[in-house]
A = this chain, B = another copy of it.
Amino acid sequence: MPRVNVFVTLKPSLLDAQGRVVQEGLHSLGYNEVSSVRIGKFLELDIEDTENLDEKVHSMCERFLANTVIENFRYEVVK
């Protein structure tokens, strides 16, 4: 059964408020060398053998898993 990893990230031009908060948390713990943090989602999908796997995953991302107005996505078929 194919495993597909999907990465959904905020578009680079947009402020990642959650990332900024995490960065400040890291600084207050002494990790001052961290100059940027951006946070996205990582989805692991198990998909039964199917035709057009690539096309289907692309359509799932566009329709549902990512908000393409503000987010980018990419995916990789692992096995």
- Which residues of chain A have a CB within 8 Å of any CB of chain B? 1, 7-9, 19, 22, 25-26, 29, 31, 33-50, 56, 60, 63-65
The answer to whether A45 touches B50 (Cβ under 8 A) is: no
The 9 closest A-B CB pairs, nearest first, are A42-B42, A36-B46, A33-B48, A40-B42, A33-B50, A38-B44, A35-B46, A33-B47, A39-B43
Partner of A43, one of B37, B45, B50: B37
Other than the given A22-B64, A33-B49, A33-B50, 18 more pairs (CB < 8 A) read: A1-B35, A9-B42, A19-B43, A26-B64, A29-B60, A29-B63, A29-B64, A33-B56, A34-B46, A34-B47, A34-B60, A35-B48, A36-B45, A37-B44, A37-B45, A40-B42, A40-B44, A41-B42
